[in-house]
Structure 1
């Protein structure tokens, strides 16, 4: 079930799963650990577009298979050395968790988790590669390899990760992430996405970006600073396009980018014009 269709928001659904996973951890038998989406939320990683309805565990047992109930899933797999502890709870390591989730869940949600795991240095690409090798032959391994190959620590929010997937599925060129600009006063700033040939900046404005808890004056100040930053970047010959969660839900991100690219091409920017 997509997160947008859940009766609670993704953050609340993740919090409920974490609470239920912590409670269930008190009753798991030796050799069983929290895994998959349960491990994901215990590691503080997003479970966007993933099934958060059931607590998931893995019992260390060579082979494969699982027992599924309405509120829990228990897999039987070889855990190897991919086990750690969080607050006394045995869980799969971040790298193993990402690979397990990527094998068994939709591509988009797995990318969101993998991006954040790399961004926060919870695991390395080498560790992910090792877990992929260990999972060779298991169901979903091809999808897991695709998720790991696509993952990028430059995506600083779930909305940026979702946007990247939408962009690549639409066949649009992938932007540079966290591109640095040097402003006229010598200061430096980074933007979420940048298509250099088009001079196009894309920014995914997730909720809370401007500090909604800072009070009205603080929000106004941040909005003013952000507008000044945008003006300075545009003065370098670029254009901005911004989108929010509602744009993602309504499928408006790709049309927004396409329109901006066509506009820039009409003004002489873009690879076709430069050929």
Structure 2
């Protein structure tokens, strides 16, 4: 993908995507010796050309890297392009997202009408005092606390994530973690996978069964 100030003599090509923009060259940054658009402009282009579920992980990551909302809004002010998608993304961007998988799953939740969850909320075990963070959290009007956990097989087999414990030890530790969350007041724990989010229907079904609130 390249950006050009006018249509010139370039013709469409299946391996070349052209974004026409009077983008000042002095605002570009160097990446591996190539002039590329700076992060705010790149976010604007990604947000306008990608679906929400694919754009939100990019915006979350940029926010975690220190890109501020006002910088992106300044880019919107410089263009005559429709920035309605960007405004929606900024509304839901959360630097607290721990990884792209969690951002993608949250985007799917939002697109399917579920209430936006709190991210990375900590609970203290009333028995041991240990702190546990959860991926997603919803508090319902009737006082229930629903936790969503995005699981992957790596947590059971990757030595970096298991502290070199066996699968059985890791599973047992996960059970103890769940018990601690219930002692801390959690009502329901919903286990989700990235495949659930990609397919969408399994994720929707699990959240509905758990009673995760929807927005009107």
Verify: 1:186 aligned to 2:114, yes or no.
Answer: no
Verify: 1:154 aligned to 2:96, yes or no.
Answer: yes
Change (3 A) 1:124 1:202: same
Aligned partner of residue 218 in structure 1, secondary structure:
coil
CA contact 1:98–1:113 (8 Å) conserved in 2: yes
Q: Map of 1:94-173 to 2, 5 A cutoff?
A: 94-121=39-66, 123-135=67-79, 137-138=80-81, 140-173=82-115
Aligned partner of residue 168 in structure 1, secondary structure:
helix
Deviates more, 1:94-103 or 1:155-164: 155-164
Q: CA deviation at 1:98?
A: 0.9
Match of 1:245 in 2: 194
Verify: 1:85 aligned to 2:30, yes or no.
Answer: yes
Q: Which has the higher contact order (CA 8 A, sep 6+)?
A: 2
Question: What is the distance in 2 between the residues matched to 1:206 and 1:161?
Answer: 15
Q: Map of 1:64-79 to 2, 5 A cutoff?
A: 67-79=11-23
Q: CA deviation at 1:110?
A: 1.1
Aligned length in residues: 204
Deviations along 1:110-152, whole A, 9 cap, x unmatched? 112111221233x2222222222223x21x4211221222221
Verify: 1:203 aligned to 2:149, yes or no.
Answer: yes
Match of 2:172 among 224, 230, 233: 224
Q: CA deviation at 1:191?
A: 0.9
Question: What is the distance in 1 between the residues matched to 2:178 and 2:8?
Answer: 53
CA contact 2:124–2:184 (8 Å) conserved in 1: no
Question: What is the distance in 2 between the residues matched to 1:128 and 1:64?
Answer: 28
Match of 1:259 in 2: 209
Q: CA deviation at 1:67?
A: 4.8
The CA RMSD measured in Å over matched residues stands at: 2.8
Deviations along 1:207-247, whole A, 9 cap, x unmatched? 53445255895353444333322210112231211111222
CA contact 1:84–1:90 (8 Å) conserved in 2: yes
Any unmatched runs of 5+ in structure 2?
none
CA contact 1:183–1:233 (8 Å) conserved in 2: yes
